[in-house]
Amino acid sequence: MRISRASFASALTLMAILTGTQFAAADTEVRFYYPIAVGGPLTKIIDGYAAEFEASHPGIKVKPIYTGDYIQTTAKALTAVRGGDSPECAIMLAADLYTLTDADAVIPLDDLATTPEDKKWLAGFYPAFMENARVGGKTYAAPFQRSTPVLYWNKEAFKEAGLDPDKAPANWDEMREDAKKLTKRDASGNVTRWGIQIPTDGNAAWLYTGLTTADDVKLINSDGNKTAFNDPRAVESLKYLHDLSYVDASQAKGLTSWGTTPKDFTEGKVAMIWHTTGSLGVIRKNATFGFGLGYLPAKAHFGAPTGGGNFYIFKGLSAEKQKAAFEFIKFMTSADRAADWSIQTGYVATQPASWETPVMKAYVKDVPQAAVARDQLQFAVPEVTAHESARVTKALNDAIAAVMTDSKSAQPALDEAQRQAEIALKDYR
């Protein structure tokens, strides 16, 4: 008896050793697509969070997969869904909401948020960020790296131009006047410093929404199926952007590059820029001069778009995987982590609770600019969130590019964008 019991035990041990690898593999794996940004050491931070999560959630393994920019990431995710090999979750553009639900690729988070605690978590985010997270009364996304554009200004350049270095232009007219004064030319007429730069090469529609919102027009309805690209105020906004380059000559002509704009600013080649709050970290690191951070200037009122990425969970997963992915995104979007993420990157902390944490309070005391983006949220609207968003956004971006390269004027360019959007959206009404 004894012997057999001992051998039974050792057989068990042996089995455990032999199958040990299988036990490890039986961990639930959560793969998540993440749009990498090479400017900051973001991958390290993400990897760090993933490791922390694994330590506190034994049995779940997290595998971040860096997938390029937002457009590439969504394309990859949808391709993977079509291929039946979707990851468990991903950070994708908030504006891709309809694209993802139309493709039947993601699931509502309400189905998973069953406990009162979960429900409290889901209700904790800023409403501005949740506007393009809901379809038909269901919440499909949890805000993570959310941003909003702000105005950065070079205080030394302001001083030099005889402007008050502590006062950002508050409205369109002031920004126009300031930009003219800030533009500096050498003896031969070469511009050595531009007054303003609102980059127009990739993310043009997003920053343009900063103009249209201030001018009191919504470019798209909340169902994402009706655009107002050629509304008179939308045309006026694009004309304003155009005239900065071609009438005032205080902004470089042609498309200006999203990617090099922070560098243009820190190199002193331009005195004011519009860029994401997410660039605050990079600009703080590289600027050799004092700079300010302010609201986008007002027209009818202040206004700005929200942008950036949300967490989504994909459809067709086992209940176990869904649960693991859900745990992971709860962990990643918790108040503490959102505070840490905001401090390390410059993205806006996504919930009021984050701003109450001691670390965040200390940070805001140290870097008061960080709070500007948060306070601007009260004026914010979602960026263009449409069905067929890749097509609709490209139509708008093409129109902005045509106007900013002076090859079309605002009205016909936006008429064409509206026409293309109508074609793309006709099946969604």
Residues 171-190 within binding reach of another protein (CB under 8 A)? 188-190
Burial class (CB in 10 A: 0-12, 13-18, 19+), 301: exposed
Residue 401: CB minimum distance to another protein, A:
4
**CA pair distance 393, 403, nearest whole angstrom:** 16
E strand segments, 157-246: 184-185, 191-197
Q: Which tokens hold the place of 140?
A: 């499909």
Q: List phi, psi (to 5°) of 159.
A: -60, -45
Nearest to 209 by CA among 46, 367, 382: 382
Q: Which is nearer to another protein, 145 or 165 (CB)?
A: 145
Q: In the set 20, 59, 232, 259, which binds another protein (CB under 8 A)?
A: 259
Residues 6+ apart with CB under 8 A from 263: 286
Q: Which is nearer to another protein, 41 or 290 (CB)?
A: 41
In the block, residue with structure tokens 């008050």: 164
Contacts 24+ apart (CB under 8 A), 287-291: 287/154, 289/154, 289/155, 289/156, 289/157, 290/154, 290/155, 290/156, 290/165, 291/152, 291/153, 291/154, 291/155, 291/265
Contact stretch for another protein (CB under 8 A) within 96-104, 133-141, 293-301, 327-335? 96-104
Q: What is the Cβ-side half-sphere exposure of residue 303, based on CA atoms within 13 angstroms?
A: 23
Q: Which is nearer to another protein, 104 or 356 (CB)?
A: 104
Residues 6+ apart with CB under 8 A from 45: 341, 344, 345
Establish if 191 lies at the interface with another protein (CB under 8 A): yes
Residue 42: CB minimum distance to another protein, A:
8
Establish if 260 lies at the interface with another protein (CB under 8 A): yes
Write out the binding residues for another protein, residues 61-90 only, by CB under 8 A.
65-72, 75-76, 78-80, 82-85, 87
**CA pair distance 229, 169, nearest whole angstrom:** 27
What are 60's strand-pairing partners?
28
Q: Which is nearer to another protein, 66 or 110 (CB)?
A: 66
Residue 345: CB minimum distance to another protein, A:
8
Residue 82: CB minimum distance to another protein, A:
7
Establish if 284 lies at the interface with another protein (CB under 8 A): no
Establish if 282 lies at the interface with another protein (CB under 8 A): yes
Establish if 262 lies at the interface with another protein (CB under 8 A): yes
Indicate the SS3 state at residue 393. Answer: helix
Indicate the SS3 state at residue 412. Answer: helix
Q: Which is nearer to another protein, 301 or 426 (CB)?
A: 426
In the block, residue with structure tokens 């206004």: 303
Residue 295: CB minimum distance to another protein, A:
20
Q: Which is nearer to another protein, 130 or 282 (CB)?
A: 282
Establish if 104 lies at the interface with another protein (CB under 8 A): yes
Write out the binding residues for another protein, residues 353-392 only, by CB under 8 A.
388, 390-391
DSSP 37: -
Contact stretch for another protein (CB under 8 A) within 176-184, 211-219, 250-258, 332-340? 250-258
Q: Which is nearer to another protein, 139 or 257 (CB)?
A: 257
Write out the binding residues for another protein, residues 193-232 only, by CB under 8 A.
200-202
User: How many residues contact another protein, by CB under 8 A?
Assistant: 73
Cβ atoms of residues 395 and 422 within 8 Å: no
Letters for 16-55 (x = contact with another protein by CB under 8 A, - = none) are ---------------x---xxxxxxx-xx-----------
Residue 5: CB minimum distance to another protein, A:
45
